[in-house]
Amino acid sequence: MTQSSSFVDGRIPVSLLTGFLGSGKTTLLNTWLRDPAMADAAVIVNEFGEVGIDHELIASSNDNTIELSTGCLCCTVRGDLVETLRELHVKRERGEIPRFSRVLVETTGLADPVPVIQALITFPVARAYVLGRVITVVDAVNGGYTLDAHSEAMRQVVVADELVLSKNDLVDGSALAEQVRRLNPGAGLTLSRTDAPPPATLLEGINIYDPSTRPAAVVEWLKADRYGGAYQHEALADGHVHHDVSRHSHDIGSFCLSYSEPLHWEHVCAWLDALVLAHGDQLLRVKGIINVVGRERPIVVQAVQRLFHPPAELSDWPQGAIGSRIVFITRGLSREFVAEVFDTLRQRQPIHS
């Protein structure tokens, strides 16, 4: 990790729509393509045939890009996602296509979303784009079995910012809803029916890197309190609070570490670098806000496995929320181990002011 910087830019948010085979992801995407709320969006799909775009919706088409009458752009992946995003941005800047202000990427049903998220936070993509929301569709009918049988489905759930539980009109999805809440306490949960899918406004989440984002929205983005609640312990002698881990099948767990005292940025960087070097594949997602010694404003960190989004300084602290809180979603790494790595580094690398 490197030193933070303030982000004041016009990068385009890229959201991810994922979900296992048969989850209803494509049905939801079909609905969104007809929604006027998508007028300023570009949507990247795997195959036009899979989405089944109605001919009456097509205003114009050229090569691998279709412009819909709603104003939404729809294109297929050419080569890989990085190249497709690059081509879209070049055409946008040349005026060859409308100047879309956001992108939605649909993944295949069998896709592990983690490498896709990594691609979105890696240069050169990160020069023009910024990671938006990750939305995962879970099938209320078969979702329980799918989560038990397929690690990809589990990873789709645990890295999501928003979970859509589909087909609730066909079965009682309350038990599965509770299961996915335990898997990913920090995600929002929307219950969906086959005849009433959620609107495209679900994509309008908090852009933590937007300078105009209100400080109070930072708390909503992190949702650190959902990893504590009844499980929160008293602060230990070392000055930090441990929130109990939520441990699940496939050895996937989630937890939050909180520190009341300001932290030295050198220690934070060394800690996260050590975790990435030794256990990067086990860090499914990390996000947090850090109270850094010598800085008045919070620093936001976000990572997927071995890749960290460049740290950014936010405009201000949320009222009454000064303090470091880091959420970890891991595979095979315990809360105690992660905290111990930080404690050990701080003891071995004292910083004298």
Instruction: Say if residue 171's pLDDT is above 80.
Output: yes
Average pLDDT score over the chain:
80
The per-residue pLDDT for 217 is: 67
Specify the pairing of strand 188-191 against strand 240-242: unpaired
Instruction: Say if residue 94's pLDDT is above 80.
Output: yes
Domain CATH for 98: 3.40.50.300
Mean pLDDT along residues 172-182: 92
Domain extent for 152 = 12-203
Mean pLDDT along residues 159-183: 92
The per-residue pLDDT for 157 is: 92
The per-residue pLDDT for 208 is: 63
Instruction: Say if residue 55's pLDDT is above 70.
Output: no
Domain-ending residue, one of 203, 226, 260 = 203
Q: What confidence category does residue 3 fall into, taking pLDDT thresholds of 50, 70 and 90?
A: very low
Residue 5 lies in a domain: no
Q: What confidence category does residue 21 fall into, taking pLDDT thresholds of 50, 70 and 90?
A: confident
Per the structure block, which two tokens stand in for 297? 């404003």
Measured distance CA(65)–CA(54) in Å, rounded: 15
Residue 2 lies in a domain: no
Indicate if 303 and 325 belong to the same structural domain. yes
Domain CATH for 227: 3.30.1220.10
Instruction: Say if residue 236's pLDDT is above 50.
Output: no
Measured distance CA(69)–CA(184) in Å, rounded: 37
Instruction: Say if residue 96's pLDDT is above 80.
Output: yes
Decide: 103 and 43 in contact? Cβ < 8 Å: yes
Measured distance CA(282)–CA(348) in Å, rounded: 24
The per-residue pLDDT for 60 is: 53
Indicate if 258 and 282 belong to the same structural domain. yes
Indicate if 170 and 240 belong to the same structural domain. no
Mean pLDDT along residues 110-125: 79
Mean pLDDT along residues 317-336: 88
The per-residue pLDDT for 58 is: 56
Residue 183 lies in a domain: yes
Measured distance CA(249)–CA(247) in Å, rounded: 7
The per-residue pLDDT for 26 is: 83
Amino acid at 112: D
Measured distance CA(237)–CA(343) in Å, rounded: 12
Indicate if 219 and 199 belong to the same structural domain. no
Domain-ending residue, one of 157, 180, 203 = 203
Indicate if 303 and 335 belong to the same structural domain. yes
Q: What confidence category does residue 266 fall into, taking pLDDT thresholds of 50, 70 and 90?
A: very high
pLDDT in tens, 269-302: 999 999 999 998 899 889 899 999 999 999 989 8
**What percent of the chain has pLDDT above 90?**
31
Going by C-beta distance under 8 Å and a sequence separation of 6 or more, which residues neighbour residue 229? none
Q: What confidence category does residue 139 fall into, taking pLDDT thresholds of 50, 70 and 90?
A: very high
The per-residue pLDDT for 235 is: 36
Mean pLDDT along residues 115-132: 82
Per the structure block, which two tokens stand in for 289? 């806000």
The region of weakest confidence among 20-24, 124-128, 178-182 is: 124-128
Indicate if 219 and 181 belong to the same structural domain. no
Q: Which residue has the higher pLDDT, 65 or 50?
A: 65
Q: What is the DSSP string of 64-93?
A: TEEEETTS-EEEE--SSHHHHHHHHHHHHH
Mean pLDDT along residues 91-117: 86
Residue 151 lies in a domain: yes
Mean pLDDT along residues 143-149: 90
The per-residue pLDDT for 62 is: 61
Place of tokens 């990085």: 82
SS3 state at 96: coil
Q: Which residue has the higher pLDDT, 49 or 227?
A: 227
Q: Which of 64-78, 140-154, 193-207, 242-256 has the highest mean pLDDT?
A: 140-154
The per-residue pLDDT for 120 is: 80
The per-residue pLDDT for 63 is: 63
Instruction: Say if residue 70's pLDDT is above 90.
Output: no
Going by C-beta distance under 8 Å and a sequence separation of 6 or more, which residues neighbour residue 147? 138, 153, 154, 157, 179, 180, 183, 249
